[in-house]
Amino acid sequence: MRKHLKIVVLLLLAVLILWWFGRKLDWAEVGQSVRAADWRWLAAGVIAVSSTYLLRAYRWRTLLAPLTEAGLRPLFAATTVGFGAVFLFGRAGEIVRPAVLPLYDRRVRPAGSFATIMVERLCDIVAVVVLFALNLLWFPAPAGQESQLAHVRTAGLILLIVAVVGLGGLVLFERRSERAIHWLDVRFKRWRFVPDRLAHALTHLLEQLAGALRILADPRELAITVGWTVIIWIVNITSNWFVILAFGLPFGLKETIFVMGWSLVGSLVPTPGGAAGAYHAATAAGLIFLNRPPNEAAAVSILLHLVAFAPALIWGLYYFLRGDVSFKRLQRLTSSEEIEHAIEDDELKTDESGMPNKLKVVGVSD
């Protein structure tokens, strides 16, 4: 009941934001701008976005390497289904990607899948913050927006500091993970208000996270992961630039990265439809900041959103039709209870096998 109420609230929020976003727009002019967009540039954007899913699968395999082997095809399938779920369910769909991978590749444990996705999200967050913050250093202020740009630069600098501090904290956790997890395990045994199942799931997940964070201590693995991340975001920027070029806007890569920063802020709102409403409003606001007309800005934001999610929906439909993952199963995977059970079962299987998980010896011996 509570889950369904949350979905209803988020749907209402999406509708409210969409209403606010479109209340003063001339939708006939918006439609005309959409129809006038060069479909060749849009097709190039779709191809670029599709390639990022394959690149993410390669990076995910690198992150899983210290834990287990994983096939590229299951990783690609889980990635596309996961991004399709983000569109269908909003940010709740984020957990579908790591939850569904063990269904495609039995060698991957649920806890390891979740831990590596946490590291992947860290890579993406740091990449976005660094890109946005560095871009602001050389970004020329649009006419009449000098003071506002100063505030945006301050926000970008704060985000950069937070990202660096957070990254430092994870490096420290990786180095002292055994001691930290043992300390937490002792505390959980004393804190009777924490359910045993939840305590076991959390400590097991932290063990998996510590193993995945080994990339921060291994120069080779770290270099490979950073390399894949750089390539992914170069292609992401290119795909956004292609959509902007479809409208004939006089923007280069600096303006594209600037607009992407606004888009990514909007995408944090957990509304269904891939942050529907919030993404469009934030992206349009970034374009209006660059002195583009509101109707044109709205048209660009709509197609940017469509190009970002259409390939994942197409691939997701492919896997639905194959019967690999059902829509009902995806709904179940968005619940925290399902994830908790998966991690708990993972731990029980490890214990019953009599063999310690690879990650449980991280920091002790290699």
Q: What is the pLDDT of residues 31-52, one digit of tens each?
A: 999 999 999 999 999 999 999 9
What is the C-alpha separation between 30 and 294, in angstroms, rounded?
9
Contact criterion met (CB below 8 Å) for 300 and 244: yes
The answer to whether the beta carbons of residues 210 and 162 sit under 8 Å apart is no
The domain tally of the chain equals 1
Task: Let me know if 238 is exposed, middle or buried by CB neighbors in 10 A (0-12, 13-18, 19+).
Answer: middle
160 vs 211, higher pLDDT = 160
pTM score of the predicted model: 0.78
Res. 330: pLDDT tops 90? no
Residue 214 lies in a domain: no
Asked if residue 157 is part of any domain, the answer here is no
Structural domain for 102, as ranges? 2-140+226-339
Within a domain: 359: no
The separation between CA 287 and the C-alpha centre of its own chain, rounded to angstroms, equals: 23
In this predicted model, what pLDDT tens digit does every residue of 146-175 receive, in sequence order? 677 777 778 777 877 887 887 788 778 877
Distance between CA 14 and CA 353 in Å, rounded?
A: 47
- Residue 349 falls within a domain, yes or no? no
Q: Is residue 185 part of a domain?
A: no
Cα 30 to Cα 179, 248, 257, 327, distances in angstroms: 58, 15, 23, 33
Could you tell me if residue 46 is inside a domain?
Answer: yes
Q: Check residue 218 and give its pLDDT.
A: 74
**Is residue 22 a part of any domain in this protein?**
yes
CB 63 within 8 A of CB 116: yes
Pick 75 or 94 by higher pLDDT: 75
Q: Residue 87's pLDDT band (boundaries 50, 70, 90)?
A: confident
Contact 184, 209 (CB under 8 A): no
Most confident region among 99-113, 185-199, 204-218 by mean pLDDT: 99-113
Residue 179 counted as domain residue: no
Are the C-beta atoms of residues 345 and 96 closer than 8 Å to each other?
no
Residue 275 pLDDT > 90, yes or no? no
- How far out from the chain centre does Cα 112 lie? 17
